Amino acid sequence: MKYTVKKYIKNDYKTWNDFIAQAKNATFLFHRDFMEYHENRFKDFSLLVFENQKLVAVLPANIVANSVHSHQGLTYGGLVYKEEIKLAAVIEIFQCVLFFLNQNKIGKLYFKTLPSIYHRKPAEEILYALFLAEAKLTRRDSLSVVDLSQEKNISQIRKRGFQKAVSNQLIIKEEDTFELFWNEILIPNLDKKHNAKPVHSVEEMNVLKSFFPKKIRQFNVYFKDEIVAGTTVFETETVAHCQYISKNENQDNLGSLDFLFHHLIHEVFAEKCFFDFGISNENQGKKLNQGLSYWKESFGASTIVHDFYEVETANYSLLNNILI
């Protein structure tokens, strides 16, 4: 085969990160510092693909039993490549990845895509390769996304909430630490509503913030010097994504979130391409929280999908004789 595949090792740290910085379909979540802050939870099985000595693609991944997964510690994933890589090359590269996994007794690849809004330039070549390999769609999440280049179709109820917040003299502050939001708002709410905890601990968030100070941002809303709401934003080149959103349910009539998201959408991130409220799904995408989805849509958001696939590695043979 034209390409060679190898497993990532620690010595590849700089090579990997340099490649991620130049790829057309990567974000800072694929940087090794982000991937490895919780490395004790996942057995890494990330792959690098070379043409001769030149790195042409990487796959962030981990292994469970005899299956490889697009890294389960990341929201999204996929095969990462640069702008100059053409469709035919992506097909061949993906075939080599499947062949490598098959030769290493890996039966299945569970593949997360990178939603199109996160692409620096169109990068759906891998979707065509997945189709050719007869990948099975196993999950589809719906993201609520505001196109910031378009006029914002904000509902009247959100506008009234904003005016209420103004009359209540709420204040928004960007903070450098996460303790106040986590301990006073996020953790109590998740525990009360879902008997759950945040995916990230405060300590982990502070570590990640130290690695990516300009890309991980915390915005809190205050009423009379008391925190009443907040959101944690992961900022990429094209998208501002809300990783966590929560408010004090005892202060429900202040308009705190209406005020916060008006500020973020119209001021802080107005020059981004998209504002991503995230998913409103449960049960592997098969259930939709209608109220949550409607709330996000009331800010002018509409839907794009995030797909997940299962691929038999033996299907590498299906990619033979594709190119004519």
Q: Where in the chain is the domain with CATH 3.40.630.30?
A: 4-140+307-319, 150-272
Q: What number of helices (H) and strands (E) belong to the chain?
A: 10, 16
CATH for 150-272, among 3.40.630.30, 3.40.50.720, 3.20.20.120, 3.40.50.11890? 3.40.630.30
What span, in angstroms and rounded, lies between the C-alpha atoms of 174 and 220? 6
**Tens of pLDDT, residues 266-319:** 999 999 999 999 999 999 999 999 999 999 999 999 999 999 999 999 999 999
Threshold 0.85, pTM exceeds: yes
Q: How far is CA 58 from the centre of its chain?
A: 17
- According to CATH, the superfamily of the domain at 4-140+307-319 is Gcn5-related N-acetyltransferase (GNAT) (3.40.630.30)
* pLDDT of residue 129 exceeding 90: yes
**What pLDDT was estimated at residue 250?**
80
> Average pLDDT for residues 46-63, to the nearest whole number?
97
Residues 26-42: tens digit of each pLDDT = 999 999 999 999 889 99
Range in 59-63, 196-200, 264-268, 270-274 the model is least confident about: 196-200
Give the pLDDT score at 109.
Answer: 98
pLDDT in the model for residue 150: 94
